[in-house]
Amino acid sequence: MNYHSGLRYQRGAGFTSLFSGLFKALRPLASMGFSAGKKFLESDIAKKIGSTALDVGKNALTNIATDLLEGVDLKESAQKQLNEAKSKISKVLKGGGRKRKHETKEQSTKCKKVVYSLID
């Protein structure tokens, strides 16, 4: 009986060739994203956010430990500390520091417009 048994080993690109074009297209975008991320991590705002997060985390852990010793529920205490952490970090993101006062313009006395006519 004659039948076709096929090739012993697969030739060609196979299933992975479908994704190779996608990866080739995404590689420049990924490298651009990594370089932008590196620049962001070196910025002042990232350093402020990181230091604030570290301080908030330390405070939260000490407060949760204190609450546990006092007998407060862990879930309740953690939720309270999480809300405080969110507000403190959002303040840093918003720049909720010193507010500048807007200069108020002095109200000048209104002068009447003088109308000149050729007849007078």
Q: Kindly list the domain boundaries of the chain, sorted by start residue.
A: 44-95
pLDDT band at 45 (very low <50, low <70, confident <90, very high): confident
Phi, psi of 114 (to 5 degrees): -95, 125
Look up residue 100 and give its DSSP letter: P
**What are the tens digits of pLDDT across the range 75-97?**
999 999 999 999 888 888 886 55
Question: Would you state the structure tokens that stand for residue 62, as one six-digit string?
Answer: 């000490």
Contact 92, 49 (CB under 8 A): yes
The pTM is what?
0.49
Question: Would you state the structure tokens that stand for residue 108, as one six-digit string?
Answer: 């000048």
Q: From CA 63, how far away is CA 34, in angstroms rounded?
A: 36
pLDDT band at 48 (very low <50, low <70, confident <90, very high): confident
